Structure 1
């Protein structure tokens, strides 16, 4: 199943704390300022004991809007209490992650907006179920990827491994987003990491844009 409109982007990053949530909200706001109608969806939200998505709440604060789809349950269609990988969070609640229901929600949202950003849980290799990785699910939908990285030590390794995994599955990298919301404490590492990743992007993914997500007061 794929979106009826080719207007869905998948947001992932180097790990759980890559800054995907802030980057998703920021990019949505940027596109709104360019004149597009934009919605964001959380693919699977774990760590939601009150039945609400904390990541969607951050998106809305950055975007400066509320969306009716939030109240309809369409922007956080899969909520789990325990803050863990989706496969474990679902198992702990003795529930099954219904990915077809998630896709139906995304399709409904995509029919109402010009652009939709779907934020994943953790990195690309996070298991959604015992048998399905996040990257496999996103690749099946043919969603272009917005990938979030940063200047902290280890980011070059994590970013290049993720890009290699994407290339192996024929995925399209739409944007590489440099997250300045959580800057590296080492300015030299931060600057060189940006330089290296930007050069790698230009050489191996020349069609991909590189964006800087600034620090945002939340």
Structure 2
């Protein structure tokens, strides 16, 4: 298990995983951990990954040299779509050896690397290679971001079960409660996730998004 590289994915596209990634990195940084975030693949922008820019804003630091030279996100595509489609439209391919080389460099220079994916676990990076395939191939512990919006229970349980079926180590589920969402529903959803994880994946941590300092990553 790669103890200093964690993969962060979400139950869908708008669950707040970029926000949680940046906020978690900030809290770890403030607690003395030499941490950096990365982005597997970015679509819908040019230049430096817009999610990396948001991570640094949340961490309250400037862009790092590794951001400027593309180490934290080697592949950025202009079309805002699933990576497999964005690569086709931009007429460029993704080289996973480049991605892994970049990640190894970050792991060598930082105590902890938080690698954010694109969308959810079943998002195709290429035609025949899904996000969960990448997580499984490189044996990365997964932090899954859920949310309080309608439909999140279904999406979260499907993601948990997929991890169990594929043999992916689901380290933590983070419940990101959205502003304005019904507090009664949010409270019961969180409680339901706790009961479900206790039964089906008891080693998985469940945290609320406003309690990220309780996460246990070995630091």
TM-score, with length taken from structure 2: 0.91
Whole-angstrom distance in 2 between the partners of 1:81 and 1:119: 18
2:16 aligned residue: 19
CA shift at 1:26, angstroms? 1.1
Partner of 1:111, secondary structure, is helix
Aligned residue runs from structure 1 range 140-179, under 5 A: 140-179=137-176
Aligned residue runs from structure 1 range 96-111, under 5 A: 96-111=93-108
Work out the number of aligned pairs and report it.
Answer: 210
1:193 aligned residue: 189
Aligned residue runs from structure 1 range 85-96, under 5 A: 85-96=82-93
8 Å CA contact 2:10, 2:120 repeated in 1: yes
CA shift at 1:205, angstroms? 2.1
Unaligned runs of 5+ in 2: 212-219
8 Å CA contact 1:26, 1:213 repeated in 2: no
Whole-angstrom distance in 2 between the partners of 1:7 and 1:185: 34
CA shift at 1:184, angstroms? 5.7
Unaligned runs of 5+ in 1: none
**Change beyond 3 A, Cα 1:13–1:160:** same
8 Å CA contact 2:143, 2:171 repeated in 1: yes
Partner of 2:66, secondary structure, is helix
CA RMSD of aligned residues (A): 1.6
TM-score, with length taken from structure 1: 0.91
